[in-house]
Amino acid sequence: GIQVEQSPPDLILQEGANSTLRCNFSDSVNNLQWFHQNPWGQLINLFYIPSGTKQNGRLSATTVATERYSLLYISSSQTTDSGVYFCAGNAGGTSYGKLTFGQGTILTVHP
């Protein structure tokens, strides 16, 4: 199966700072998605982004499918952004929802 590598594993920010999270895939992926898992365990779908760039408020994401990576940008971070960020995708030929997740980036935003 595909391997998903996320970096950095941990990130500590002061409120108001910007950050970039990266996700590398070992092979071509379909159905690439970014999720935020809040401190209560809820996984929130941030983006479905198999290619290109999308923006949603202070968050944006870019996927370069030909180079097998995706980036998540967080601008003007807030304490509520804290939690774990996961990227996930599925390999071609598998069920579209059979996602392989990375290990996550743990983000802590201090006031």
In terms of CB distance, is 1 or 16 closer to other proteins?
1
Cα separation, 15 vs 43, in Å, equals 22
Q: Judged by CB under 8 A, which of 13, 72, 99, 107 binds other proteins?
A: 99
CA angle 77, 43, 66 (to 5 degrees): 75
Which range of residues in 15-23, 53-61, 67-75, 95-103 is near other proteins by CB under 8 A?
A: 95-103
CB atoms closer than 10 angstroms to residue 17: 14
Applying CB under 8 A, does 34 fall inside the site for other proteins?
no
Q: Judged by CB under 8 A, which of 14, 40, 66, 111 binds other proteins?
A: 40
* φ, ψ dihedrals at 61, nearest 5°: -140, 145
Rg, C-alpha atoms of the chain: 13
Q: Judged by CB under 8 A, which of 43, 59, 71, 91 binds other proteins?
A: 43
Residues found near other proteins in the complex (CB under 8 A): 4, 31, 33, 35, 40-45, 48, 86, 88, 94-104
